[in-house]
């Protein structure tokens, strides 16, 4: 059967293919400003008692690897959605809290309210794609992604944010900045190599996803970034319901739903829990579900994420999910990434 890809050849696809250029532009612009150095020094001497990582949507999910890195280095770090922080956890706004706030636009309703509620009580490191935004203007220090204009669904802005957050984490943890930059630079050719075969990936996935009614993305640790963002972009791109959750949470309920109409993508992820994820894959298949592993060991090119650098794995993990959004669009014969009810910037709480 001949698969017609013309329905997906629009602005969203072009944004996906432009991701290597966006990553390169973001890397080239990274610079350790004096405000960042000052905050890193205050963190090292124990001035800050906690680090609160906040954002909404894909900006929130992108924070998972940084959260784990900061905890590994002995800091007290917590992730809180901005919508909860500004209404239910306002006691966290104090001089002993360092806020790291991520927002592509810097103008979402929650980020604007965060700036108002904080009233400069906590130092804020902003990560945004928009220099003139409210968040950027009211932050103590700002690191800009250089993703450029984006049509709709977060893709360039998401991977660029992952680059910035990994780099920022290395600065705050006083890692070798040169080594950090060299590792992150390997993401550019790796992403380009994967996307060069986008047609083959989509065609393969169209065959694999035919007839499904439920899509689950599951993983652990840093892979929770791609799990959460992946489910979000499938819903935005295709109007197809998808769930993103930890591999452990999948056993607490959704496992009972296994059928031929369910497809589960299991993210192999970090070596610490790779065996647990492999066991889940086997159990899903044994229970009658359709599942594939996403990682270095995958036998399917569309799900094979080859990297020796754990620092760029979260970037590579989102690419197969982006291909899933294209494949589902082909199956449903609809243009992917075209908003009908939502907007690029969420301005209403």
Q: Which CATH class is domain 189-332?
A: alpha beta
**pLDDT single digits (tens) 44-55:** 999 999 999 999
Q: What is the pLDDT of residue 153?
A: 96
Q: What is the pLDDT of residue 1?
A: 61
In CATH terms, are 15-185 and 189-332 the same topology? yes
What is the residue extent of each domain of the chain?
Answer: 15-185, 189-332
DSSP state letters, 73-125: TT--EEEEEHHHHHHH-GGG-STTEEEEEEESSS-SHHHHHHHHHHTTSSEEE
pLDDT at 343 over 80: no
| Sheet order of strands, 141-144 included | 77-81, 50-55, 97-103, 123-128, 141-144
What pTM did the predictor assign?
Answer: 0.97
pLDDT at 308 over 80: no
Lookup: tokens for 104: 């592509």
Q: Are 268 and 243 in contact (CB under 8 A)?
A: no
- Percent of the chain's residues with pLDDT above 70: 99
- Percent of the chain's residues with pLDDT above 90: 93
pLDDT at 340 over 90: no
**pLDDT single digits (tens) 198-220:** 999 999 999 999 999 999 999 99
**pLDDT single digits (tens) 7-34:** 999 999 999 999 999 999 999 999 999 9
pLDDT at 347 over 90: no
Q: Are 190 and 19 in contact (CB under 8 A)?
A: no
Q: What is the pLDDT of residue 305?
A: 83
**Cα 41 from chain centre:** 28
Q: What is the pLDDT of residue 342?
A: 78
pLDDT grade for 237, boundaries at 50, 70 and 90: very high
- For 7, residues 6+ apart whose C-beta sits below 8 A from its C-beta are 329, 330, 333, 334, 335
For 309, which DSSP code? -
Fold adopted by 15-185: Rossmann fold (3.40.50)
Q: Are 200 and 100 in contact (CB under 8 A)?
A: no
Task: Give me the mean pLDDT over the 94-111 stretch.
Answer: 97
Partner residues linked to 102 by β-bridges: 55, 127
């Amino acid at each position: 059967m001949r698969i017609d890809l013309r329905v997906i050849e629009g602005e969203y696809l072009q944004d996906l293919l432009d991701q290597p250029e966006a990553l390169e532009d973001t890397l080239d612009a990274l610079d350790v400003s004096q405000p960042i150095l000052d905050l890193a020094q205050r963190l090292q001497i124990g001035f800050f008692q906690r680090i609160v990582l906040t954002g909404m949507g894909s900006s929130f999910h992108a924070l998972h690897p940084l959260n784990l890195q900061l905890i590994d280095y002995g800091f007290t770090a917590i992730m809180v959605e901005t919508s909860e922080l500004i209404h239910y956890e306002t006691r966290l706004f104090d001089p002993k809290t360092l806020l790291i706030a991520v927002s592509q636009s810097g103008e979402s309703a929650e980020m604007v309210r965060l700036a108002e509620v904080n009233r400069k009580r906590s130092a804020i490191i902003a990560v945004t794609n928009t220099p003139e935004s409210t968040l950027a203007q009211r932050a103590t220090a700002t690191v800009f992604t250089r993703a450029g204009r984006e049509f709709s669904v977060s893709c360039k802005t998401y991977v660029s944010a992952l680059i910035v957050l990994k780099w920022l984490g290395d600065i705050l943890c006083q890692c070798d900045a040169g080594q950090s930059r060299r590792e992150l630079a390997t993401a550019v050719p790796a992403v380009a190599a994967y996307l060069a075969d986008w047609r083959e990936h989509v065609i393969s996935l169209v065959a694999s996803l035919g007839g499904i009614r439920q899509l689950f993305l599951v993983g652990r640790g840093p892979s929770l970034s791609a799990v959460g963002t992946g489910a979000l972009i499938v819903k935005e791109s295709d109007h197809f319901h998808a769930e993103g959750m930890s591999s452990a949470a999948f056993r607490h309920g959704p496992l009972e739903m296994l059928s031929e109409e369910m497809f589960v993508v299991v993210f192999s992820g970090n070596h610490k829990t790779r065996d647990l994820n492999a066991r889940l894959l086997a159990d899903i298949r044994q229970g009658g579900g359709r599942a594939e592993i996403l990682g270095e060991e995958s036998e399917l090119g569309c799900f094979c994420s080859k990297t020796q650098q754990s620092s760029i794995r979260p970037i590579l993990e989102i690419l197969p999910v982006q291909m899933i959004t294209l494949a589902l669009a082909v199956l449903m014969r609809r243009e992917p990434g075209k908003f009908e009810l939502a907007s690029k910037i969420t301005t209403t709480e």
